Amino acid sequence: MFLYLSTWAEIERFLERSRTIVIPIGSNEQHGPTGLLGTDWMCPEIIAGEAQKKADILIAPTFNIGMAQHHLGFPGTISLRPSTFIAAIGDWTRSLAGHGFEKIFFLNGHGGNVASIEAAFSEIYCEASFARRQSGFALKLCNWWDLEGVDKLARDQFPTGHGMHATPSEIAVTQWAYPNSTKSADYSPQIAPSGPIREALDFRARHPDGRMGSDPAQATPEKGRQLVELAAQSLVRALDAFSREAMPG
């Protein structure tokens, strides 16, 4: 079930049977010569979409702009400042909690978001802590590749050249979901170099085609299908466990 395809009355009825909601969150940034700019928000959105076919799950609109400053040397990248990102997460959370959602699960697709999402959680919980009251809700962050079994499958599929950015696993997921948008390119070197992540011009100089340690040419739609199916099943289990966590009071 998708929140944006629902009416307010349908959401009110959903809240009678569940107080859990999933927010796909990612980034719009370069992913090498063949990776779609939306890869990091598309992957969690695709996985959440498959999961809601298997269980009574509510999916919030995708938070599709994140922390991508180091990719701004490549056209098409859009980034938020850390303070803007943290504030926006707080407003999304307060809006949903105000309607009665008690378990808010952020399914993340961009490693660069993690520190700021966790900082946002700390800011939100801090409000309740200083007021000496229960927050009334719980927040959880999970990267899609950290869902049970997913990283192992990706490493089995791509034992060499998986890398850190523009990875064949994330490219495969988007190839499966959007086959008409599959791209191709000649890579040189085949496996990109790795290195530190700093500011945009430094990143572009170190990683001129945008990849980090990866060989996306290994991606196939079939491997993407396997990853999505496993991730969706694991997400259903993770949400069930999160939903069952007892709230105080």
- Tell me the C-alpha distance between 47 and 26, whole Å: 13
Residue 131 has pLDDT above 80, yes or no: no
Indicate the pTM of the whole model: 0.96
Set out the domains of the chain in order of their start, with CATH numbers: 3-244 (3.40.50.10310)
Pairing type for strands 138-143 and 103-108 reads: parallel
Mean pLDDT, the chain, integer: 96
Mean pLDDT value across residues 33-48: 98
**Hey, which residues does 212 pair with through a beta bridge?**
165
Indicate the range of 6-10, 121-125, 126-130, 174-178 predicted with least confidence: 126-130
From 100-109, 120-129, 213-222, the region with the lowest mean pLDDT:
120-129
Confidence (pLDDT) at 249: 63
pLDDT at 210: 96
What integer pLDDT is reported at residue 135 of this predicted model? 79
Average pLDDT rounded to a whole number, residues 110-115: 97
Q: Is the peptide bond before 189 cis (omega within 30 degrees of 0)?
A: yes
Place of tokens 């520190």: 115
Distance CA 102, CA 166 (A): 34
Q: Confidence band (pLDDT; 50, 70, 90) for 103?
A: very high
The rounded distance, in Å, linking the Cα atoms of 236 and 249 is 26
pLDDT average, residue stretch 206-231:
97
Band of the pLDDT at 15, cuts 50, 70, 90? very high
Find the mean pLDDT for residues 90-115. 97
Share of the chain above pLDDT 90, in %: 94
Angle (CA) 59-60-65 rounded to 5° is: 125
What's residue 208's pLDDT? Answer: 96
Give the whole-angstrom CA distance, residue 32 versus residue 41: 16
Tell me the average pLDDT across 172-177: 98
